[in-house]
Amino acid sequence: MVYPIVKYGDPVLDREAEDVTEFGTPELDKFLEDMFESMYAAKGVGLAAPQIGFARKIAVIDISNAENPADKLILINPKILRVEGRQEGEEGCLSIPGFREQVKRGKRVTVRAQDAKGEFFEKTGEDLLARAFQHETDHLYGKLYISHISPLKRDLIRRKVRKLVKAGEWK
């Protein structure tokens, strides 16, 4: 099932999500399937559960856009372990459609997370994958990429979004 994407302004995006404690259940498997489906439908390379309205520490990533099954990643209760180097590049978010900004991130990032069965694993990603690890983990702690840009640019986005809300064009 494809869930609609929750937009910037919804409080579910601003708070830390709950840890997942039950693994290997049919409910979790179905939810993960729905997350991938929702991410592909929205043409994203990553999706965090709060973005479809569930305050749980679950994110899915596929930087190949469904081209390469080996790129499908599930991060449950992820934590960033290591950040090395810097990269600067354009970043957007399915919850803030129509906007993109230059964001500085780590170039090589190691994440520790659990899989659908609850097994812990570590994975290191570079460039886009490193960016996705940071962006999606941020979501699970109530943080959006615009918290990494200048206050001036952030205010500009806020004001534009407020106008869209008033015009009924932000849903």
Task: Name the residues that contact Zn ion, by CB under 5 A.
Answer: 93
Residue 22 Cβ, how far from Zn ion at the closest point, in Å?
25
> What is the C-alpha to C-alpha distance for residues 171 and 150, in angstroms, rounded to an integer?
25
**CB nearer Zn ion, residue 6 or residue 93:** 93
The DSSP code sequence of 31-76 is: HHHHHHHHHHHTT-SEEEGGGGT--BSEEEE-TTTTS-GGG-EEEE
Q: How far is the CB of 107 from Zn ion (least distance, A)?
A: 19
Q: Give the largest Cα separation in the chain, rounded.
A: 46
CB of 119 to Zn ion, least distance (A): 26
Nearer to Zn ion by C-beta: 100 or 117? Answer: 100
* 23/149 with CB nearer Zn ion: 149
Question: Looking at beta carbons, which residue is closest to Zn ion?
Answer: 93
Check if 90 is active-site: no
Neighbours of 120 (CB within 10 A): 10
Q: Give the catalytic positions in this structure.
A: 136
